[in-house]
Chains A and B, each alone.
Chain A
Amino acid sequence: MPLKKEPTEIRYLYKFKFDDGTEKNFDVVLNSTTLELIRDDPNPKPGWTRLKYSQCENCPLPGTVEYCPVAVSLAKLVESFHDAASYESAAVTVETAQRTYFKKTTLQKGLSAIIGIYMSTSDCPVMDRLRPMTRFHLPFANSIETFFRSVSSYLTAQFLLMRQGHQPDWEMKHLQGIYKAVNLVNKGMTTRLLKATEKDANVNAVVILHSFGDGINYFIESGLSELEPMFDVFLKEAAALENSADVNGPAKTHLSQ
């Protein structure tokens, strides 16, 4: 029997339902191979989406680019929530081909999840580094889950680099640099959004994303150690192999056997 053909698109359908009964839906569609956002740009594009409007200080795009790709991708969502407060409660459902997620949460948290996808898939050269994470998007993830996905994604990239003969960064020394650059974009975007909105839901949603970038360094230095007990089986096995190597000479790991 032939293998079932993978769909060419990945969809995340975000449904926001509010206490007053109103509902707003946003369908985020990505190319399943490149993870690039299949854009549905507003027409006309709002003024605050122009690249020069409040360009991020580290923006590498040339002056010939008229609109900021991130801002344009976010425009419909942002304008839809321009007068919403961050802590407004919302029942958010996220439908994907594989499963449905549901959470009663604050609007800022729901918006943060969807804004995160838009930002990393909209063809911004800085945000591109986070694009692989969108394949394993986890709506309403808490900090530790996001840090873990981030580190996992980065280490996978290093493994692929090593397999192709490049120098991997196992110590994740450059991950902090990536998030530093990403946070300059997050900061630039909050400046745009402050001008485009009347209340704080959109801005705070980006602030949440910014906070992940801010915490990544500490997570690598200290937070990962807190996860050590979960990896006890690996650590104990390695220690046992090293001990037996001390007694019997060089040990063979199960990978080298």
Chain B
Amino acid sequence: MNERILVVDDEESLRLSLKFKLKSAGFDVDVAADGEEALEKLKAKPADAVLLDINMPRMSGIEALTIIRQKYPQTETIMLTGFADFSTAIECLKIGAKDYLVKPVDTTELVTRLRSLVRSRSSERALQEVHQEYTGLISEDLIEPLKKIQTMLDQASKLAVDADKDRKKLISNARELTDKMEAKLKLLVEFSKRAATIGTPGGAELSPTQLAEQLKGIRKGTTK
């Protein structure tokens, strides 16, 4: 899926030329004529990055930036201005804009900056996903079944001497869970060995997205 960029400028020709350029650079592009429309568009469909003009009617770029940072902290913002104003640039960066470009924007430079911005953002997102899957595997797939096994063993120990059938059933269930845990732990050990070689000569070449996919596979039992 292409990264989604929202271009916000009150001037139609600027919106169109940026849309043309960014689309041909492979981005999925939407446009808005002012801050209010930008917020409506973001509400309907989030964007990876917003290119935001500073001087616009109805709602200024700085006002829009403030709201975007509050409501959509995952969305990065690059400010555009026709007039290089150092204090405004500082203000925008303080509010949370990632960059500040003076128009006419060199589109090659803009594409480079956007790529690096959304790439680092998607790596960040993928790493968060790896972390989430790993934590999920440990807590939901290992610790929770372990607690269940403990409960089963407790229940088995409290059963009457002649309740052999129930005891056997509990032990069999506990055994089944330990088998599943063992299988997942073995896969996790293999996964950790592979992950440890990333970045070493001849090591595994796995992106954060691939790592997250492997963890998902271990959890679902689709990875053997």
Contact = CB atoms under 8 A, between A and B. Distances in A.
Nearest to A199: B83
A193 to B, nearest CB: 9
B20 A219 contact: yes
A219 B23 CA distance: 12
Contacts of B104: 183, 186-187, 190, 206-207, 210-211, 214
A194 to B, nearest CB: 7
Contacts of A87: 10, 55-57
Interface in A67-111: 85-87, 89, 106, 108-109
Interface string A127-159: 000000000000000110010000000000000
A204 interface: yes
Interface in A176-231: 183, 186-187, 190, 194, 199-200, 203-204, 206-208, 210-212, 214-215, 218-219, 221-223
Interface in B44-62: 55-57
Q: Is the interface of A mostly helix, strand, loop or mixed?
A: helix
Contacts of A109: 11
Interface residues of A, number: 32
Given A194-B83, A210-B104, A146 B55 contact: no
A204 B23 CA distance: 23
Interface in B86-128: 103-104, 107
Contacts of B11: 106, 108-109, 204, 207-208, 211
Interface in B3-18: 10-14, 16-18
Nearest to A141: B13
B203 to A, nearest CB: 42
B87 to A, nearest CB: 14
A218 B20 contact: yes
A204 B56 CA distance: 12
Contacts of A203: 82-83, 103
A89 B24 CA distance: 33
A142 B83 CA distance: 23
Interface in B61-82: 81-82
B97 to A, nearest CB: 18
A211 B17 contact: yes
**6 closest pairs, A vs B, by CB?**
A218-B20, A215-B17, A211-B17, A200-B83, A204-B82, A210-B104
A113 to B, nearest CB: 11
B143 interface: no
Contacts of A108: 11
B53 to A, nearest CB: 9
Given A86-B82, A187-B104, A214-B107, A142 B12 contact: yes
Interface in A3-36: none
B103 A207 contact: yes
B16 to A, nearest CB: 4
Contacts of B55: 85-87, 200, 204
Given A87-B56, A211-B17, A218 B12 contact: no
A191 B210 CA distance: 47
B10 A106 contact: yes
B84 interface: yes
A118 B174 CA distance: 86
B131 interface: no
Interface centre among A146, A186, A218 (most CB of B within 10 A): A218
B144 to A, nearest CB: 54
A143 B13 contact: yes
Contacts of B16: 143, 211, 215
B21 interface: yes
Given A85-B55, A203-B83, A211-B18, 18 more contacts: A106-B10, A109-B11, A142-B12, A186-B104, A187-B104, A190-B82, A190-B103, A200-B55, A200-B81, A200-B82, A203-B103, A204-B11, A204-B82, A204-B103, A212-B13, A215-B17, A215-B21, A222-B20
Contact of A208 (B13, B24, B81): B13
A139 to B, nearest CB: 14
Interface centre among B16, B21, B82, B84 (most CB of A within 10 A): B82
Contacts of B12: 142-143
